[in-house]
Each structure stands twice: as C-alpha cells, then as structure tokens.
Structure 1
Amino acid sequence: MTRQTGRTGRTGDDEISRLARGTLLPAFAGAVPPRWLLDELERGLAGVTLFAINGNVPDTEALAALTAGLRKVAAPLVAIDEEGGDVTRLGGHLTGSPYPGNAALGAVDDPALTRRVYRSLGAELAEVGVNLNFAPSVDVNTAADNPVIGTRSFGADAALVARHAAAAVTGTQEAGVAACAKHFPGHGATVEDSHLGVPVVDADLELLDRREFRPFRAAIEAGTRSVMTGHLDLPAITAGVPATLSHAAISGLLRERLGYDGVIVTDALDMDGASGAIGIPEAGVRALLAGADLLCLGAREHEASVRATVAAVEEAVRAGRLPAERLADAAERTGQRQDWPTGPGAAAADREAGLEAARRALRLTGVLPRWSSGTGPLVVELESTGNIAVGPTPWGLSPWAPDAVRAAGTDGDVESVLDRAGGRGLVIVLRDAHRHAVQRSAATALLAARPDAVLVEMGLPVWSPEGAVHLATYGAAHANAQAAAERLGLA
C-alpha cells in the first residue's frame, strides 16, 4: 500500500483521501442506498452503520435488499447495534427482541446458553447481510444507578462478565458475523451517560486490571474481531480526555497492555462525550491519532459529515499532525475485513434459545396469588423512559393483557388504578424502579391499598418493598415479557 503524504502530488492526495474514507462508518436515511453513499463506497468508504431510527430496517426483506445493493459496488462493513434485550434494531425496535439481553443471560449464568443465543442472533444478522455487530457489551455494571448500561451488562461481577463475554463473542462469530466488545475501558462504574457528557471512571490501573479489563481480555482471547472505545475519562490515565481520543487509553492500554491487535472502532462520534466541545471532524482526527481504526460517526451523520471528516483528516496529514503511516495502518487493518469469517449459512436462527434464556432468568420472591376464575388481573405499567441507546422500543405485558393500563404514577393514577382493579388481581409492572422515584412512590401506594398485588420488575431488580410478591425478568425484551406473562398465567 502506498503511504505518501498529501504534499507528494495529486497521486498522494488521492491516496490520502481514499485512506481517510477507509476509516469511516457513516449513517444514511432510508431503506434504499442513496447515490452519494454508493459513490463514497466506490471511493473507498469502509462501510455504514445501520439505524432503525433512520428507516434503514423497515423489515428483514428490505434490509437484505439494502445490503445487497451496497455490495454491488463494494465490499463494505455493514454494522448495527443489535445487542438483543433492550437495545435492538433488527425488527425488535417494532416488537421487542426475541432474545433477552445480557442481564438475563448473566442471571442464568450458563455460558453455553449465552453462546447459543448470540449464535442465533448472529445468524439472523448474517441472513440480512450484516457483517459487524456492535455487541456484546462487556461492561461490568458496578454502579446500580448507571443510566446507560444497566441490563445491557451481564452483571456486576467481573469473572461472570468475562466468561459470558467470551461466550457471546464466540457465538456471534460462529454465525459468520464479526463481534465488537464494548465499551473500552469499561462503562459500568459510571452514573453519567456519555451521550450527554464525559463520564468519569475514578479507578487506578490496579482496579481497572482486576475489574474493567477482565472481560475485555476474555473477549480478546476468544478472538473478537473488533473492540469499541467508550467516551470515558480515566483521571489517573487519560487526565480529562475521553478514552476514544486518548493515546494513553487506546495505544497504551488496549494495544500494549492488553495486547489487542484487531480493529478498534469508536463509539458514535456525534455523542457529546466525544465531540461536544470540538465537533465530529476534529474528534475523528484525534481518535485516529489516539490509535482508533474505524470512526463510527453516528445516526445523524450522513454525506456532509463524511466530506467534512475526510477534509479534516486530509488537512491533518498535510499539516504533519497526523502521520500518513498511522492513517494507512488504520485503513489497512479495517481493509482486512475480507478475511473475517462472515456470510450467511454458518449457523441457523434458534429463537427458542432466547425464550429458554428468558424463562430461566425469572426470579420470583414470594408466592403468586391465584387469580379469580375467568377474570385475569389488571396490569398497570408505570411509565419509564429508556435511555438514548435503547430508544423507543416497546416493552411491558400489554400484548398478553389487552386492558392493561399505562400510567405516569401520579396520585390520580393510583386512585384510578385502584378503582379499575376492584374485584380483580393487580399486577404492577416497573422498569428500573431504583432509578425512578415516581415508580417507587406509586408502587408503594398501590401495595399499601392492595398488599396482594404482584410487582414485576423489567429492569434491574435493585428495589423491592419488603414482603411484596416480586417477579424479576432482568430485561424488557419481548422474550422477557413473554416469560413473565407465562409465569403469571397471562399467556
């Protein structure tokens, strides 16, 4: 590969431009590849990231046609955020995922089942032409009030997360899809959302080695094809700089300390934690300088962002700020994707694995009441907003309870629910109640009037009133909801 600087003439300029494009994963709108995107692929664009909110995934047939259209002009990376559970894009954004998320898999703690679930999920991705999945999340969720990880993590124990990280990577890649362990150096010990700022992980190197890095080492040993960086500040190491833009974090920790030689991809650069103060093009240059290979630009970043980022990288090379060798190294590493074991047919979808995992993850405290013959319980779902990563994915038990009530949890809501539940059983559905005071207050008031009510927690089961009958699902995916509905006798 020619590694010339931009000052060596027109050929050098063209080569730098192509290398710069070889590091970019932009987004686009719609279910048909736009002309600008096809042109950019011909000019060397590394690939794309698919987003349900952009209309890229209306259904699996359309998605397969979309990815086939991309491959008529190039051999791009086609990436997606499909974690299963609460973060789902492949149809699950419309109905909820048929696969439970990591918290449920960690609760079951059967690595063979985790491998089976991820193999099935990977098979579904491969069938529609996706060859890079931004999963699994291998963050150790030690902060119960974490606003962005939560049920996306296998748990709070590093050893447990490590064994499931390895199983998830193995299952995904057995299906012919490249896995991506995220969010290095670990987003589990934070109470801030990197979409909105730069969270701080206040840990020294010894603690990071023992806790945050353990699952990443397991994923690397399992052969993960990529690792995603997080926009996190490690004061003892990065000194106020988010890890995505830190040479000490990417080159020092991930490359040298952990010995990782695969593709390093950034979390979305449109997040405030990366570009809020400097803009996406400059964040892209700094990420490449730090040692990243692929720049995920974000859902809103289309043609204009590609052009602006390419221009910023070209200028950084011309100015001598970004060595051409570093850019060539990044593009060459991502260019080796043709060697990745991708393509449909390596495994078959096995959705029963998802339902099995969801059923085995259920945890019941107390004894479920017997509902009156012929009259099921009234189900009330207390409103809970998902974080930006989750998005507006449907959740709850309403598919099995046609007259279910969705309530904000105000005093008026409590009285209305009690009136409607007269003579019937009552099921109160929560989601991360430990993080939502209104949910806790409403549930407490309902239980005071109806101590026979059942609480169903569809987030992390951190909060539960003493003496209450409590069913924990460890997630709000369709599979989790179905398993809960079965246990409650609704399905």
Structure 2
Amino acid sequence: MTADDTATTGEIARLARGTLLPSFPGAAAPRWVLDELEAGLGGVTLFALTGNVPSPESLAALTAQMRKAGDPFITIDEEGGDVTRLGGHATGSPYPGNAALGAVDDPELTRRIYRSLGAELAEVGVNLNFAPSVDVNTADDNPVIGTRSFGADPDLVARHAAAAVTGTQEAGVAACCKHFPGHGATVDDSHLGVPIVDADLELLDRRELVPFRAAIAAGTRAVMTGHLNLPAITGGVPATLSRAAITGLLREHLGYDGVIVTDALDMQGASGKIGIPEASVRALIAGADLLCLGPNEHAETLRATLAAIDEAVRTGRLPAARLHDAAERTRRLRDWLAGSSPAAVDRAAGLEAARRAVRVTGALPGWNGAPLVVEAEATGNIAVGPTPWGLHPWAPDAVRAAGAPGEAEGVLERARGRGLVVVLRDAHRHAAQRALANALLTARPDAVVVEMGLPVWRPGAAVYLATYGAAAANAQAAAELLGLVSAA
C-alpha cells in the first residue's frame, strides 16, 4: 500500500465517521465516544430511556464534555407534547404538541412554542432537534403519528411547519422536519415494519409534500426521511434507502439542498432484513448525509457500519464523492450553527396554547367535593415511550382502569354520590376504552369525558372535553376547566 493509498483510506474513514450519529447509555460519554469524536464522528443522538437525560443540568454537562472532544451534532427527539425527552419524559412536557397547536391554528403561537423549545435545548447544548413532525395525518388509525401532527389538512400543516421551523431556528437550534415524504397516511408503525403509502406523485404533491415545501421555504436546516414504501415512487424500497425518494423527490423535485438525516436505522422499516451496516450504505448511496443509528446502537454497531461503508467505497458501490458531498452539507450546517444566536425561554406560551386548544361540548358541572377521576389505560407507541399522562396530578381521587369486563361496576360504586370524570386517550384506537366509557355513561350520563388524544370517537356524553394531546400543559388546562386546580 502506498502513502497515497494510506492517506486516501484515512480520508474515507474520517468522511464515513462524519455521517454517523450513534448513541450510548448513561449521563456521561464513554471513552469510545470521545475517541470517535476526536477522529471526526458526526455526532450523537440522545435518548431519555438510555439515561442520557436525567436532568437539564446533567445534560448540559454531558454536551460540554463531548464538545471538548470534537464539534458534534448533538441531536434529540424533542417535539413537545407527547414526544418529549428534555425532562418531560418524567413529568410530561410543559408544551402542548402539534395537534393542539393545529387546533388553535395561530402560527405565531406555534412559532413562540418552538422558539422556547429551541431555547431550552440550546441552554443544554443540543443543536439539532428532530422536530417538527410535518406529517399530514389523514389516517385516523395511524398508530405512530396522531397528535404528533398539526392535523389532516395539508395547508394547515404547512403554515405551522413553517412557523415551527422559524421558531426553532430563531433559538439557534437546527430544525429537522420529518418524516419525509410523509408518515400520515399509514396505519402501520415503521418501528415494526415498512408502512405503505399508496400515493402517486400527483397525490403527494397536493397532500404529503405541501408541508415539506413550506418548511424548505422557511429555511429548515435538515429533513428526516421516513422508512416508508411508496410503490409508485420507490418501487417497494423504503424511502430512506431509495435514491428515487431522497435524490429524486427531495433534492430534485422539491429543490432541497440542506442536510438529510435518516430516521433511526435500527427500526424494522429500514434494517429489518438487511442489518444496520448495509442499511447505512444504502442510505448513503440514496443521498442521505447523516445516519441516526438508534438508541441501542453503540461502539460495536459503529465499527461494523464503518467497515461496511469502507468496503462499499473500495468496491465502487458507494462513490467517495457521495461522502464528500455529505461532508460539505454538514460543514455548512456547522457554519450556520456557529453564527446563530440564542433566544429566551417562554414557558408561558405552552400553557397559553394548551388552554386555547381545549374544545368543550356541553355545560361544565359544578361539583360539591372532588369528583372521582378514572383514567383508561392506553398503550403508547415506541416514539412516545412511557411518558406520564392524565389528570391524576391534580385529582385528589384518581384510579386507572384497564377496561376489563365488570370493571365499570367497581368504578361506579366508588363514584356514588359525587362527580365522575372519565379520561380517555385515542379511544378510537382502543376498544377497551370505548367499552369502559360506554358502560360508565350508561349508568352515569352526567359523567364528564376528557379525550387526551385525537377526538375521533365521541361517546354520548353530555359534557366532553378534547385537549388534543396528553402533555402536562394539556392536562393542566383540562384540570383548570374542571375545577380540579385554579388557573394561575
């Protein structure tokens, strides 16, 4: 091997590292992460469930530690609302999510929310946020988007996508719109398989792509791909691994020239049959610039992926020019981050938005004494995780119910002689919730129903509250209206 060959090999290794965003467990960066950052690693993705975010103070120390070793993109999924990592995973977010913001439909308020979210991220050293979700949620039974979307109308989603991008980037944090080309028309979860979006280019242009165009026009610094099969566009290949989707649709059709990030490659929709290293190579060939590996993909996956990229370059599958292209785009993003300015945290915007989002049908009752609050069990999706939700922090007497046969009788006995509040979450997706609500309302038509997901299924309740999300801010807004807590 000549000296030139050695230099070229070293250059390719550094370029390959520059595309990778691995993860690690714990609140301190392990030695291998620091070594890889010194060698040119692109950055890391932080996850609450792996212990990266025990507190804002700890996170700030972690990001400072990593910046001493390199110039990383420090990325996180902080959408506000139901998908929250920055402290909200333990208490619920102080900011309502996109469905609530879409219900209010005040783009300036959306801009304020995302600017404050960005300001909180900037304070702890996060510089690339995997938000907003700009999917047009046209499938009611969508198991993974739902309240993460601004709504089902492309124009509404577009104006809030632009506002969210603007607000985030006013705080000096790069926005990353997702999940291109749109995860809203699916009834499958790309964590578990490859959802199909049955749409040709004409339908995509008037539905899924409308918010992405608005986000691009607003200057979004990054776009995240979804692991979605669009047969008319990708021919059965997930969009993340499809040159037709990334280079053809996003680069050429929409004219986007910023950074393209993959959704986590550990998801079944991307790597289920081929493994993460091969999925990484295919994503780079398709045109991606940064590869999010996943929450449990650490040093071993990183090494295997680097080896796969090196082999792909040596055998001619992956042109070295493609890695240079990715490096140039990520360099431009770092230059933008270096010149950005911070903003002020504005948590008051969160509660304001949550209060304005609540929709009430019927006349709210006045109770003598505290009502019984019964919260129906609801399984969260993988993106949301085990984030707390419900009205119990404000209720002196609250119970959880799974909706099992006969369970309503015990709840009714406990609620005898006082008010009853029934709390649901995406009841249209959970038969047990609907059965519980119907059984309780048959005996207690005076019960108040609170829906903390999407208000698709409405029971025959005299009083019905829709919060459009289950964040702490949404819960407080509902609790105030029900008299469980006084409005500040």
The bucket for the TM-score relative to the shorter chain is: over 0.9
Query: Which amino acid in 2 is paired with 1:380?
Result: V
CA 1:175–1:298: 2 relative to 1, 3 Å? same
For residues 338 and 479 of structure 2, the distance between their equivalents in structure 1, rounded to whole angstroms, comes to 37
CA contact (8 A) 1:126 1:343 kept: no
Query: Which amino acid in 2 is paired with 1:437?
Result: A
CA contact (8 A) 1:7 1:13 kept: no
CA contact (8 A) 1:383 1:406 kept: yes
Query: Which amino acid in 2 is paired with 1:404?
Result: A
* Aligned residue among 282, 291, 298 for 1:295: 291
How large is the Cα RMSD of the aligned pairs? 1.3
For residues 438 and 2 of structure 2, the distance between their equivalents in structure 1, rounded to whole angstroms, comes to 66
Which residue of the partner structure matches residue 228 of structure 1? 224
Query: Which amino acid in 2 is paired with 1:292?
Result: A
Aligned ranges for residues 264-283 of structure 1 at < 5 Å?
264-283=260-279
Aligned ranges for residues 341-352 of structure 1 at < 5 Å?
341=337, 346-352=342-348
> 1:339, CA displacement in angstroms?
1.4
> 1:286, CA displacement in angstroms?
0.1
Which residue of the partner structure matches residue 121 of structure 2? 125
Which residue of the partner structure matches residue 430 of structure 2? 436
> What SS class does the counterpart of residue 411 from structure 1 fall into?
coil
Query: Which amino acid in 2 is paired with 1:149?
Result: I
CA contact (8 A) 1:129 1:343 kept: no
> 1:341, CA displacement in angstroms?
3.5
* Aligned residue among 377, 380, 389 for 1:383: 377
Moved more, 412-421 or 45-54: 412-421
* Aligned residue among 18, 28, 48 for 1:22: 18
The answer on 1:332 being equivalent to 2:328 is yes
Which residue of the partner structure matches residue 480 of structure 1? 474
CA 1:395–1:343: 2 relative to 1, 3 Å? farther
Gaps of 5+ in 1: none
The answer on 1:166 being equivalent to 2:162 is yes
Query: Which amino acid in 2 is paired with 1:107?
Result: A
For residues 322 and 344 of structure 1, the distance between their equivalents in structure 2, rounded to whole angstroms, comes to 34
CA contact (8 A) 1:379 1:403 kept: yes
Which residue of the partner structure matches residue 412 of structure 1? 406
> What SS class does the counterpart of residue 54 from structure 1 fall into?
coil
CA contact (8 A) 1:6 1:318 kept: no
CA contact (8 A) 2:441 2:461 kept: no
For residues 125 and 377 of structure 1, the distance between their equivalents in structure 2, rounded to whole angstroms, comes to 38
> 1:465, CA displacement in angstroms?
1.8
Per-residue Cα deviation, 1:100-139 (whole angstroms, up to 9, x for no partner)? 0000000000000000000000000000000000000000
For residues 357 and 418 of structure 1, the distance between their equivalents in structure 2, rounded to whole angstroms, comes to 34
The answer on 1:255 being equivalent to 2:251 is yes
Aligned ranges for residues 126-275 of structure 1 at < 5 Å?
126-275=122-271
For residues 267 and 383 of structure 2, the distance between their equivalents in structure 1, rounded to whole angstroms, comes to 11
Which residue of the partner structure matches residue 32 of structure 1? 28
Aligned ranges for residues 288-327 of structure 1 at < 5 Å?
288-327=284-323
The answer on 1:421 being equivalent to 2:415 is yes
Query: Which amino acid in 2 is paired with 1:11?
Result: A
> 1:370, CA displacement in angstroms?
1.4
CA contact (8 A) 1:127 1:345 kept: no
For residues 338 and 364 of structure 1, the distance between their equivalents in structure 2, rounded to whole angstroms, comes to 46
For residues 344 and 410 of structure 2, the distance between their equivalents in structure 1, rounded to whole angstroms, comes to 48
For residues 342 and 3 of structure 2, the distance between their equivalents in structure 1, rounded to whole angstroms, comes to 46
For residues 54 and 377 of structure 1, the distance between their equivalents in structure 2, rounded to whole angstroms, comes to 38
> What SS class does the counterpart of residue 429 from structure 1 fall into?
strand
For residues 445 and 381 of structure 2, the distance between their equivalents in structure 1, rounded to whole angstroms, comes to 31
CA contact (8 A) 2:467 2:478 kept: yes
For residues 467 and 415 of structure 1, the distance between their equivalents in structure 2, rounded to whole angstroms, comes to 18
CA contact (8 A) 1:7 1:318 kept: no
> 1:343, CA displacement in angstroms?
8.2
CA contact (8 A) 1:131 1:343 kept: no
> 1:415, CA displacement in angstroms?
1.0
> 1:468, CA displacement in angstroms?
3.3
For residues 238 and 8 of structure 1, the distance between their equivalents in structure 2, rounded to whole angstroms, comes to 39
Query: Which amino acid in 2 is paired with 1:252?
Result: G
> 1:409, CA displacement in angstroms?
1.0
> What SS class does the counterpart of residue 231 from structure 2 fall into?
coil
Which residue of the partner structure matches residue 87 of structure 2? 91
CA 1:16–1:344: 2 relative to 1, 3 Å? closer
Query: Which amino acid in 2 is paired with 1:481?
Result: A
CA 1:343–1:488: 2 relative to 1, 3 Å? farther
The alignment's TM-score, normalised by the length of structure 1, stands at: 0.97
CA 1:422–1:255: 2 relative to 1, 3 Å? same
Which residue of the partner structure matches residue 56 of structure 2? 60
Query: Which amino acid in 1 is paired with 2:276?
Result: I
Which residue of the partner structure matches residue 462 of structure 1? 456
Identity across matched positions, percent: 78
CA 1:21–1:445: 2 relative to 1, 3 Å? same
For residues 135 and 7 of structure 1, the distance between their equivalents in structure 2, rounded to whole angstroms, comes to 44
For residues 238 and 7 of structure 1, the distance between their equivalents in structure 2, rounded to whole angstroms, comes to 42
For residues 352 and 446 of structure 1, the distance between their equivalents in structure 2, rounded to whole angstroms, comes to 36
For residues 253 and 344 of structure 1, the distance between their equivalents in structure 2, rounded to whole angstroms, comes to 29
For residues 295 and 469 of structure 2, the distance between their equivalents in structure 1, rounded to whole angstroms, comes to 25
> What SS class does the counterpart of residue 289 from structure 2 fall into?
coil
> What SS class does the counterpart of residue 456 from structure 1 fall into?
strand
For residues 418 and 6 of structure 1, the distance between their equivalents in structure 2, rounded to whole angstroms, comes to 82
Query: Which amino acid in 1 is paired with 2:328?
Result: E
For residues 207 and 193 of structure 1, the distance between their equivalents in structure 2, rounded to whole angstroms, comes to 21
> 1:345, CA displacement in angstroms?
5.9
> What SS class does the counterpart of residue 188 from structure 2 fall into?
coil
Size of the aligned set, in residue pairs, is 485
> What SS class does the counterpart of residue 452 from structure 1 fall into?
coil
Which residue of the partner structure matches residue 392 of structure 2? 398
Query: Which amino acid in 1 is paired with 2:473?
Result: A
CA contact (8 A) 2:198 2:231 kept: yes
Gaps of 5+ in 2: none
CA contact (8 A) 2:447 2:461 kept: no
Per-residue Cα deviation, 1:41-84 (whole angstroms, up to 9, x for no partner)? 01110000000011000000000000000011111100000000
For residues 222 and 66 of structure 2, the distance between their equivalents in structure 1, rounded to whole angstroms, comes to 22
For residues 7 and 464 of structure 1, the distance between their equivalents in structure 2, rounded to whole angstroms, comes to 71
